Amino acid sequence: MQGSAMDSAAENPSTTRFREYLRIQSVQPEPDYDGIVRFLFKMADEIGLEKKTLECAPGRPIVILTWRGTQPQLKSVVLNSHTDVVPVFEEFWTYPPFAAHKDKGGNIYARGTQDMKSVTIQYIEAIRQMKSEGRQFPRTIHLTMVPDEEIGGHKGMELFVDHPEFRALNAGITLDEGLANASDEFSVFYGEKCIWWMTVHCQGDPGHGSRFIENTAAAKLHSVITSFLDFREKEKKRLESTPGLRLGDVTTINLTKVSGGVSCNVIPTSMSATFDLRISPTVNLKEFESQIESWCRAAGDQVTFEYHQKFMNKKVTTPEDSNPWWKAFSDPCKKLGLKLNPEIFPAATDSRYIRAAGLDALGFSPMNNTPILLHDHDEYLNEDVFLRGIQIYTQIIGSLASVHPLPGEQ
């Protein structure tokens, strides 16, 4: 079967380009963004796309490739992806993580196969195919490849959405990354949780480690941690006991860091705990913050907290046919026989900045029958799944770019 042979000479050209992209070590904390730009510009020149770069932050290039529509005044289709990948622990990998090794079963192993270099190449290859067929669409299609998503997007999409160049894209709908699905179904994400990263600081009385000192920082910290983790357990049980509920529908809390103390025999005056909270968009955020305050008050005096990140925007994209963008996305999926699972994304992507800017965004990575391996050792994607994704995107992108003029468009 074409594309499954070990001999690269017989390999599907789309797969070859995918593996070439994977070999660019755009790994945090020092991504090879120059290599990324050269590769993407080469793809643009081959296909015949307009190309430019933009730096909202020095050394953090955003690549914008454009296929002009026949009615460029209409709102555009934006195909977003990020160019950086997370670090690797090479000793735990079966194959070198940037070699893009393909085994006899067609599994391609490399950091970024799922998160999310596959999607970037699938966008490009879908457009390559449609242009080679001479197709044209009324709406302009932009590909935006942004940096630093894996470290929060603070020098990438967060700045980009406020830049005049982003507004000039005139975006109507944005596609971004999703997740693999181990079943026959395909996950599509219409919203995300709100991320709160916070540290609770507890002050108390010091003393010798041999004594029963009252009002200690440790006792207060124990109370705080118990409150947070009791809530975590309730949400976990709710997820496990409620049919149809998914991870994105509940709030997760995880204790990620504990610090304090100076010596084995000295009761410290201060201790702290850091938590990673991912709050469901169905939660009243003001009420939830009041609950956190009550947990801290219950622990005693001199208990304070600070936020390292506190995302408050809960906007979601309506996953119903009343939304013309959703209908244009889902209709071709139905025709292809794909079963879609609309969900709230359990973690975070750059889509949260896009939705916060008041725009529709859907997170979708066409990877079914595939274990979720983003950020994991031995991250891989099967070649057949990758190639099928290109064909899926040709239908979705073509449908979105053909949406009839909407109210307010001229």
Please tell me whether residues 224 and 95 are part of one structural domain.
no
Please tell me whether residues 140 and 221 are part of one structural domain.
no
Write the pLDDT tens digit of every residue in 336-391: 999 999 999 998 999 999 999 999 999 999 999 999 999 999 999 999 999 999 99
Q: Tell me if 297 is assigned to some domain.
A: yes
Please tell me whether residues 138 and 212 are part of one structural domain.
no
In the predicted model, what is the mean pLDDT of residues 189-214?
96
In the predicted model, what is the mean pLDDT of residues 19-47?
98
Point out the domain boundary residue: 293, 310, 327: 310
Please tell me whether residues 161 and 208 are part of one structural domain.
no
Q: Tell me if 1 is assigned to some domain.
A: no
Q: Tell me if 70 is assigned to some domain.
A: yes
pLDDT score of 187 more than 70: yes
Point out the domain boundary residue: 242, 275, 310: 310
Write the pLDDT tens digit of every residue in 82-98: 999 999 999 999 999 99
Confidence (pLDDT) at 158: 97
Please tell me whether residues 305 and 205 are part of one structural domain.
yes
Nearest to 246 by CA among 212, 281, 208: 281
pLDDT score of 14 more than 80: yes
Q: Tell me if 351 is assigned to some domain.
A: no
Q: Tell me if 360 is assigned to some domain.
A: no
In the predicted model, what is the mean pLDDT of residues 5-24?
85
Range of the domain at 248: 194-310
Q: Tell me if 150 is assigned to some domain.
A: yes
Confidence (pLDDT) at 7: 47
CATH of the domain at 376: 3.40.630.10
Which tokens go with 79?
Answer: 């195909």
106 vs 168: CA distance, rounded Å: 41
Q: Tell me if 183 is assigned to some domain.
A: no
Confidence (pLDDT) at 306: 98
Confidence (pLDDT) at 254: 98
Confidence (pLDDT) at 408: 87
Distances (CA, A) of 94 to 12, 115, 250, 358, 379: 24, 18, 35, 43, 10
pLDDT score of 307 more than 60: yes
279 vs 313: CA distance, rounded Å: 11
For the annotated catalytic residues, the residue numbers are 84, 149
Confidence (pLDDT) at 1: 36
Please tell me whether residues 112 and 246 are part of one structural domain.
no
Please tell me whether residues 83 and 134 are part of one structural domain.
yes
Judge contact between 248 and 343, C-beta under 8 A. yes
Predicted TM-score of the model (pTM): 0.92
Domain count, the chain: 2
Confidence (pLDDT) at 239: 97
Confidence (pLDDT) at 8: 53
Write the pLDDT tens digit of every residue in 244-278: 999 999 999 999 999 999 999 999 999 999 999 99
Please tell me whether residues 139 and 31 are part of one structural domain.
yes
Please tell me whether residues 56 and 157 are part of one structural domain.
yes
Please tell me whether residues 41 and 91 are part of one structural domain.
yes
328 vs 326: CA distance, rounded Å: 5
Please tell me whether residues 203 and 170 are part of one structural domain.
no
Judge contact between 278 and 187, C-beta under 8 A. no
Write the pLDDT tens digit of every residue in 115-169: 999 999 999 999 999 999 999 999 999 999 999 999 999 999 999 999 999 999 9
Please tell me whether residues 141 and 14 are part of one structural domain.
yes
205 vs 76: CA distance, rounded Å: 61
CATH of the domain at 242: 3.30.70.360
Confidence (pLDDT) at 3: 40
